[in-house]
Amino acid sequence: MYPYPSPYGPRRRPRRLTPWNEALDLIISWAALTLAFGAGALMRGDIKLLGAAALAVATAFVGHELAHRAVARHYGMVAAYKANYPFLAFTLALALVTAKYAGAPFVIAAPGAVVVMPLFGLPHPYVSMLIAAAGPLTNEVIGVAAVVASYALPPAIAPYLALVGRVNLWLGFFNLLPIPPMDGWQVMRYSLTAWASMIVLALALLIAL
């Protein structure tokens, strides 16, 4: 996700906006989401599937957040990922409980956000839309590539790569929901047409693949 405007204000550097803390937040968020998406595999002791979940989260979550950051930095802003630890704990607990009692984990994948701090004023709404759209579009590209590639791989490998693709497609769709502060809300605020096109495509890919 990408929050707009920055909760820290346009001119004050966030206390935790440092490379070390960003790396730590990314690693902890990646580990928590891996356990959430792989909760069923964890309970069954399926190490291979849990490893596939780790790869899926690495591409889907880390790729998504770094895409936000890259576009923001391209436009000259200070940007870094910051975890939301209470929500991470809720996400992991919900996934473990649903995996145990419903047979499959239900994951609300919103572990944090890229915090953007413009050097002067606030970003132009069009730039804000581009930053927001970068994450879900990255998920769609990775998701399609992984699912398509899985059809050409041996049966022993294909299901794991397909999982990587479907996690990416799910996160791409989920983040386009028009609910603040999701990416879909940021895109829809600037262009209803752009948002509608993106979420229809994301849903179609999720269903088709």
CA distance 47 to 6: 39
pLDDT digits (tens, 9 = 90+) for 144-179: 999 999 999 998 889 999 999 998 999 999 999 999
What pLDDT was estimated at residue 107? 86
Active site (catalytic) residues:
65
Q: Is residue 7 part of a domain?
A: no
Identify whether 3 is part of a domain: no
In a domain, 98, yes or no: yes
Mean pLDDT, residues 3-9: 42
Whether 64 is covered by a domain: the verdict is yes
Please name the residues in contact with 196: beta carbons below 8 A apart, sequence gap of 6 or more.
none
Residue 121 is assigned to a structural domain of this protein: yes
Per-residue pLDDT band at 57 (split at 50, 70, 90): very high
- For residue 139, name the pLDDT band (cuts at 50, 70, 90): very high
Note the pTM of the prediction, 2 decimals: 0.84
Domain that holds residue 54: 19-208
Q: What pLDDT is attached to residue 1?
A: 63
Say which residue the tokens 């930095």 belong to.
73
Is the per-residue pLDDT at 15 higher than 60? no
Number of domains, the chain: 1
* Counts of helices then strands in the chain (DSSP H, E): 9, 2
The reply to whether 147 falls in a domain is yes
Pair 88, 113: CB distance under 8 Å: no
Structural domain includes residue 6: no
Query: For the segment 34-45, what is each residue's pLDDT rounded down to a tens digit?
Result: 999 999 899 988
Q: Is residue 4 part of a domain?
A: no
Q: How many whole angstroms separate alpha carbon 38 and alpha carbon 52?
A: 8
Q: Return the pLDDT at 17.
A: 63
